[in-house]
Amino acid sequence: MPIPPPPGSTELITPATYRRHGSRRRSRVADVADSHSTRTVHGRTLINRAAQVELTRMSSQRLSDLYTARVVNGHPAPVERVGQIPYWDKAEWLAWFADYQTHKLQRLTTVEQTGDPDELVNAGAAARILGYSSPQVISRYLTQRPGYFPDPDHTQTTASGRTKRWWRRRTIWEFAKSRDMRGGGRPPAT
């Protein structure tokens, strides 16, 4: 089925056009769709999924999953649909999202806040401080999510070539305060 042309264009965009022009066409169509991500109806600002992605920096798929689980998490229902595109009341949706984030943060592990803030601890002790199941959680953060977990305050390379890492308790506590439970994976489409 053809997609209507973007404003100012007379060319219908069909599957054949996608094949002929590649991703350049798809991104232009996506830009047109995103330009209508906010509407005002009877004084209410309405937002669609594209606006939610911009507001939260979460992926569209994750936001769709939250909507699918609305019976469990209380996600508000759309107030309007334009074609197949649902629109939510912006104020209502933002209030729900703030409440959802608060509940999510409350489920984080409990942090042990005892000891000398300048004491150096290894990954095992850091995992215990953060309430993690094992030091491998920290190792995975360091290798699979660069920049999420703080760099070690001190490192040492052993004779066998292994790197030992230590963090100050203060560094671990600061990390614990900054956690927001954002998932890993790809960043939202830009």
Q: Is residue 1 assigned to a domain?
A: no
pLDDT digits (tens, 9 = 90+) for 144-174: 888 889 999 999 999 999 999 999 999 999 9
Q: Is residue 23 assigned to a domain?
A: no
Residue 63, pLDDT above cutoff 80 = yes
Q: Is residue 31 assigned to a domain?
A: no
Among 122, 123, 128, smallest CA distance to 109 is for 128
Residues 96 and 40 in one domain: yes
pLDDT digits (tens, 9 = 90+) for 88-112: 999 999 999 999 988 887 777 788 9
Q: Is residue 173 assigned to a domain?
A: yes
pTM check: above 0.85: no
- The domain boundary, picked from 73, 102, 131, lies at 102
Average pLDDT of the chain, as a whole number: 80
**Total domain count for the chain?**
2
Residue 14 is predicted with a pLDDT of 45
Which residues have a Cβ under 8 Å from the Cβ of 64 and sit 6 or more positions away? Answer: 49
Domain extent, residue 82, equals 36-102
